[in-house]
Amino acid sequence: MKPWCRIDWGGRPHYAELQGEMLTILDGCPLEGGKPTATNVARSEARLLEPVVPPNFYAAGLNFRDHIDWANREFNKSMGVPSQADIGQRSVAALTGHDSDIIVPADAKGPLHFEGELVAVIGRRAKHLSETEALSCVAGYTLGNDVSERNWQFDDRTMWRGKNTDTFKPMGPVVVSGIDPMNQDIEVRINGKTASVYNTSKMVFSVAHYVSRMSQYVTLHPGDVIWFGCDGPTVPALKDGDVVEVICSAIGTLRNRIRWLG
Amino acid sequence: MKPWCRIDWGGRPHYAELQGEMLTILDGCPLEGGKPTATNVARSEARLLEPVVPPNFYAAGLNFRDHIDWANREFNKSMGVPSQADIGQRSVAALTGHDSDIIVPADAKGPLHFEGELVAVIGRRAKHLSETEALSCVAGYTLGNDVSERNWQFDDRTMWRGKNTDTFKPMGPVVVSGIDPMNQDIEVRINGKTASVYNTSKMVFSVAHYVSRMSQYVTLHPGDVIWFGCDGPTVPALKDGDVVEVICSAIGTLRNRIRWLG
């Protein structure tokens, strides 16, 4: 499968396939057999949306040791390294695409942090997969920025505002298949300057382990996404006007600008 | 708007309107202007599905004092009464309809508990609603059973298995408009015997307050559902073969049977 995405074209969402700098409009979702049409659009002229609107949006949260160690020091917490792969959830309503703004409500006190993450996109209905066969249900991978308002994250009873405010979940730019999810360098840049780099090999629980374990209890559906957490510190904090990029050479660059209201 | 539901008819899902014991098939979702067709089906011959497949599935969790007091005693916890209306999340993948089985994995140790709840179904896109205008975005109300495996709920790092295992979220039978969400008696029966009765007037935070507060940070979408928690004890625990009913005279009866594997 060629890299694919979803774009706003003619005021409506369309799936599209990427070849070089050209997008070919598809006649449907590639997870449902969408095929190329005769219509091409220059990538530079298309506004990218989040590549899927997932039926279910899962997130590992804590899945890298250095991030947990850093967060415990930074926020005076005592979060342990998870002893089993328990998945969490995020809101589909919070998703936004590449090059859109991350809009921060005026009453957010911050700090506001990036979390650059690998995202698996489920390609078919699946249940009771072994770890060996788990990756067979993954259609491909994209990138996510698990934007986190730490004051709300730790003070509210749930993470509904801290991690699920509208636009706090940029995802994209494209979905790429045929890559090794356990050996990708993920870099985050703020205003062009490197803030974080880590390799996905450092996951506490692998993509295959998570997918297999989830599938023992939960049916995975086409378009479901699983975000796998990030490693290391997530500083400096994001400020109004900052441009934050999540970069993986095999997938591309997910870029968004912070717009802090008020 | 007449009471409406979603049914499996001819092997495909259809929205339908309820009049007495007859269902009239609609040509689309009533939230998108679906209109009655000339086709009628007896209710007794239709298999009801969850009435909507929500883009986002929200749940208040702790929203009644007597339930919090009971849970603290029962599980030796010290959960406080929430000081603000922070919403939580459940998995769309866990939803099932009226009269379907609640299938419990063989490795669940229990106890398995019912939680009979009022559910608001959002009818239109909405943001920044005042508490006075909040209910104007609600299309109607239905019932939910927030089935909870307490061992997983309290021992896992998240509630992914405890509350979101496949079939753990029965919802239905129909969506009813024009009722007062703050004055409904919700009863739960196990094998025909009353296990719980409470009135929704006892909510810590009202439906209007939750909807208004959520909408300050999160865009509400047509079909989103919000479950409002339950009051009092949720015992006796559910066993294999039990039939559990959530009943509200203004909405109907949501009935499901426990099938405990293994």
Reply yes or no on whether the pLDDT at A34 is more than 90: yes
CB nearest A218 (choices: B55, B157, B165): B165
Q: Are residues B37 and B129 in the same domain?
A: no
Q: Are residues B58 and B8 in the same domain?
A: no
> Do B56 and A221 lie within an 8 Å CB cutoff?
no
In the predicted model, what is the mean pLDDT of residues B112-140?
98
Domain with A107, as residue range(s), is 50-260
- Residue that finishes a domain, picked among A48, A64, A85: A48
**pLDDT tier, A169 (very low <50, low <70, confident <90, very high otherwise):** very high
Q: Are residues A71 and A192 in the same domain?
A: yes
Q: Are residues A131 and A205 in the same domain?
A: yes
- Transcribe B188-229 into DSSP letters: EEETTEEEEEEEGGGBSS-HHHHHHHHHTTS-B-TT-EEE--
Residue B1's CATH number: 2.30.30
CB nearest B91 (choices: A84, A89, A165): A89
Q: Are residues A73 and A16 in the same domain?
A: no
**pLDDT tier, A1 (very low <50, low <70, confident <90, very high otherwise):** confident
Q: Are residues B18 and B65 in the same domain?
A: no
Distance of CA B194 to the CA centre of its chain: 19
In the predicted model, what is the mean pLDDT of residues A22-44?
97
Give the percent of chain A with pLDDT over 70.
100
B217 contacts on A by Cβ (under 8 Å): 105, 160-161, 164-166
Instruction: Give the pLDDT confidence score for residue B221 in this predicted structure.
Output: 98
For chain B, what is the domain count? 2
Interface test with B, best of A83, A127, A158, A164 (most B CBs within 10 A): A158
Residue A57's CATH number: 3.90.850.10
pTM of the entire predicted model:
0.98
Q: Are residues B11 and B135 in the same domain?
A: no
Per-residue model confidence as pLDDT tens digits over A189-239 = 999 999 999 999 999 999 999 999 999 999 999 999 999 999 999 999 999
Strand-by-strand arrangement of the A243-248 sheet: A101-104, A252-260, A243-248, A185-190, A193-199
Which residues in chain B (134-173) have CB-CB distances under 8 A to chain A?
Answer: 156-158, 160-161, 164-166
CB nearest B56 (choices: A91, A105, A127): A91
In the predicted model, what is the mean pLDDT of residues A99-125?
98
Single-letter code of the amino acid located at A15: Y
Question: CB of B71 within 8 A of CB of B112?
Answer: no
Instruction: Give the pLDDT confidence score for residue B1 in this predicted structure.
Output: 85
Q: Are residues B203 and B179 in the same domain?
A: yes
Q: Are residues B166 and B143 in the same domain?
A: yes
Q: Are residues B152 and B200 in the same domain?
A: yes
* A79 secondary structure, DSSP code: P
What average pLDDT does chain A have?
97
Q: How many CB atoms within 10 Å of residue A228?
A: 27
A216 contacts on B by Cβ (under 8 Å): 105
B68 Cβ under 8 Å from any chain A Cβ: no
Per-residue model confidence as pLDDT tens digits over B177-225 = 999 999 999 999 999 999 999 999 999 999 999 999 999 999 999 999 9
- Residue that finishes a domain, picked among B49, B66, B88: B49
ipTM over 0.95: yes
> Do A165 and B217 lie within an 8 Å CB cutoff?
yes
B221 Cβ under 8 Å from any chain A Cβ: yes
Q: Are residues B61 and B173 in the same domain?
A: yes
> Do A158 and B105 lie within an 8 Å CB cutoff?
no
> Do B219 and A166 lie within an 8 Å CB cutoff?
yes
Q: Are residues B24 and B148 in the same domain?
A: no
- Transcribe B26-78 into DSSP letters: ESS-GGGT--EEEEEEEGGGSEEEPS---SSEEE--S-BHHHHHHHHHHHT--
Distance, in Å, from the CA atom of A30 to the CA atom of A28, rounded to the nearest integer, reads: 6
